[in-house]
Amino acid sequence: MKKTILGKYTLQTPLPEHAKQQAELQAIVFPTLSEEELITEEKYKRHLEIFPEGQFIVLDGDRVLASCTTLLQNYHKGHHTFLQISDDLWLGTHDPKADWIYGLDVSVHPDYQGKGIGREIYNARQEVAKTLGCKGQMTAGMPIGFDKVKDQMTIAEYCDKLIKGEIIDPTVTAQTKCGFILVEPLFDYLDDPRSGNCSVLMYWPLDPNTKLSENH
């Protein structure tokens, strides 16, 4: 995939030589993640070997300003972690026959946030899902707004209110505006105190009538 977005940036499949910039970018965007949960240059290169059509970058000239990592997986009810679903970020869990694109991350450089780049990446994922005959995409959004209210409620209470639509989260609410439907919290999904070590599982089906069901 390669196309112009927002009139001036290029969204495309990355090349191996972009991996170094991708790794540097993720460390900037997610400063509170543990080192083992950051994707290394070697792993980004491996992703291109396993599932190239599911990996995206956005370029401003030669600068990587955004990056996205995905694999194919089915929905399995019950708890999983960021490292489990991704085989420690090597994508060994990628299932070419699976029904859903699973988004591991979307990294947009702070200088370029708020311009609609994340939405363009999610839309590109939907295009790939349609091309591959998948049902849509899943991801686990980080409820980073919890950091500001952690003295007032637990992460379980925060996620409950978030799923019910009673509060707004900078990341998760923005994802619902793109089309995602919230499913359930994944406690201890990753090591990120800002989001209470939790993420919220969500999905965006190509067909609005499609429900997220186990093994499909």
- pLDDT by residue (tens digit) across 92-107? 999 999 999 999 999 9
pLDDT of residue 215: 54
pLDDT of residue 214: 66
- For the record, the structure tokens of 133 come out as 């005959």
Kindly provide the residue ranges of all beta strands, DSSP E only, lying in 40-127, ordered along the sequence. Answer: 56-60, 63-73, 100-108
- Residues 7-22: pLDDT tens digits? 999 999 999 999 999 9
- For the record, the structure tokens of 97 come out as 């026959």
pLDDT of residue 167: 95
| Residue 176 to residue 66: CA distance in whole angstroms | 20
> Which residues in the chain land under pLDDT 50?
none
**Greatest C-alpha distance within the chain:** 45
87 Rama class: left (phi>0) / alpha (psi -120 to 50) / beta: left
| Residue 189 to residue 84: CA distance in whole angstroms | 9
CATH number of 2-205: 3.40.630.30
Give the domain ranges of the chain: 2-205
| Residue 168 to residue 184: CA distance in whole angstroms | 16
Sheet containing 9-12: which strands, arranged edge to edge? 2-5, 9-12, 56-60, 63-73, 100-108, 136-141, 199-205, 181-186
